[in-house]
Structure 1
Amino acid sequence: MTTATAPARRIRRLPDRQTTDRFALHDLLDSELVGHLAVAVDGVPVIVPMGYARVGEHVLLHGSTGGGFALRAASARRPVAFSVTALDGLVYARSLFDSSMNYRSATVQGVLEVVPADETDAALLALSERLMPGRPAEVRGMHRKEVAATRVLRLALDDVVMKQRSGGPSEEPDDGEDHSTWAGVVPLERRWGAPIASGLTPAGTPVPDSVIALSTVNGADATLR
């Protein structure tokens, strides 16, 4: 069973690829680590890649209290857009025109909010656990000065449009193409590589559990998912 939402915006080109499936949206956001935040600053568009985490019906972002553009946008209540895209494969058709990509993408529009001070620690922990699962338990806790120098922002998943494509190339037995030309899909698989210790890490230092869990799954490199 899926939960549908009524997005404020509709896709006009290939509208059949739009989905309002909330679970598909959550799956996309939970499978990626980086999105792109866009805002107009003094009439100039600015786009910045940022690590993020989904917590419930919000996307969490963080930045310095020193005056990053995201914090300024939040303070000024400027509308922003945040987009996330997963490329799942290349679709090889029998013409370049019909070739395509398999993908999932979502764009969230709204106004950034500053997470209240009494929720900052939990929000920073949620971000850290999403980006580096298990790592917070292996390192020292955050100094208050570090927390004070960081602002966590959140963007509600209220105004979202999601588009996706899956499957092989469009083809029909009588489409007039030469079917002796290969057509199909090349899936894209991303994997974490072997851990590389820092220069100041003493030789023989055990690799922590969080790194082992990320870099190996059943003896194979771990994917982002």
Structure 2
Amino acid sequence: MNRDSRTVPSRYPKRAHEDAATIYPILDEALFCTMSFVWEGRVRSIPQSVVRMDNAVYFHASVGSHFFRSLAQLDEVCITVTLADDIVVAKTAFNHSINYRSVVMWGKPEVVEDYNEKYAAFKTLTEKMVPGSWDYLLPMTDKQMAKTMAIKVPITEASAKVRQGPPSDVESTEPIWTGLIPIKPLKGEPIPGPDAVGIALPEHLR
């Protein structure tokens, strides 16, 4: 990754990582991100589902999306993801914290014109959201492909920041509980839609 002042945090720089071995797994686990950019003199932020393939992240939207049509004209966007793992409970409110893994990256958006690359991005994103579903679903048609825009942002300038472990606190003998409260998200039991009543839950959703 390219290294500059933006990829080195001013607070707790020892928590920063610029290696792909740290950054890529965080991007792969995160289902959503926030994409920020400046358009017509104003700051914009868009929440997006995100998927990584090789050294780029990919996004999709309707070809009618005003924001997505504008992205290709930009020199740079900023993309952030955060995975919160635990609430860190200390003896003092001052030392309460969060165990987290986050990535901040910058890059130039590119419209994906190649059909095979675009198809692969949609398939990879679908499999990330609902593993095992792509081959179960009706095939994606050329008409659906034409109605959907794909944008990719190469991962060239990025930094991860990670905090893990127990609370750091002032030394004290006061009998105050400290520890971690896990807050990792969990997928719940699938709820059938109106058209799925009476249809057995497919194996990939079990």
- Normalized against structure 1, the TM-score is what? 0.85
Structure 1 residues 123, 146: CA separation in 2 closer, same or farther (over 3 Å shift)? Answer: same
Deviation at 1:6, TM superposition (A): 4.5
Distance 1:15 1:143 in 2: 47
Q: Is the 8 A contact 2:2 2:156 kept in 1?
A: no
1:11 to 9, 12, 21: 9
- Aligned counterparts of 1:68 and 1:105: Cα–Cα separation in 2: 28
Q: Which residue of the partner structure matches residue 222 of structure 1?
A: none
Letter in 2 for 1:198: G
Pairing 1:188–2:186 present: no
Query: Deviation above 3 Å: which 4+ runs of structure 1?
Result: none
Q: Residues 177-217 of structure 1: CA distance to partner in whole angstroms, max 9, x if unpaired?
A: 343111111122322111110012232x11112211xxxxx
The amino acid that maps onto 1:184 is G
Runs of at least 5 residues in structure 2 that lack an aligned partner in the other structure: none
CA contact 1:86–1:103 (8 Å) conserved in 2? yes
Maintained 8 Å contact 1:115/1:153: yes
User: What do you get for the CA RMSD once the two structures are aligned?
Assistant: 1.5
Which secondary structure does the structure 2 equivalent of 1:125 belong to?
helix
Question: Match for residue 160 of structure 2?
Answer: 162
- Asked if the contact 1:94/1:178 (under 8 Å) is kept, the reply is no
Aligned pairs (5 A) from 1:11-90: 11-74=9-72, 76-90=73-87
Out of 187, 190, 209, which is 2:203 matched to? 209
Q: Which one-letter code corresponds to 2:3 in the other structure? A: P
Query: Cα distance 1:201–1:180, how it changes in 2: closer, same or farther (>3 A)?
Result: same
- In the alignment, residue 199 of structure 1 is paired with which amino acid? P
Q: CA deviation at 1:98?
A: 1.1
Query: Corresponding residue for 2:113?
Result: 116
State the alpha-carbon separation in 1 of the partners of residues 188 and 101 from structure 2. 24
C-alpha distance in structure 1 between counterparts of 2:141 and 2:161, whole Å: 41
1:63/1:71 contact within 8 Å kept? no
Which range is displaced more, 179-188 or 27-36? 179-188
Matched, 1:95 2:89: no
CA distance in 2, matches of 1:45, 1:6: 24
> Greater relative contact order: 1 or 2 (C-alpha under 8 angstroms, separation 6 or more)?
2
Q: How many residues align?
A: 203
1:128 corresponds to? 126
Runs (5+) with no aligned partner, structure 1: 213-225
Identical pairs, percent: 28
Q: Distance in 1 between matches of 2:75 and 2:66?
A: 14
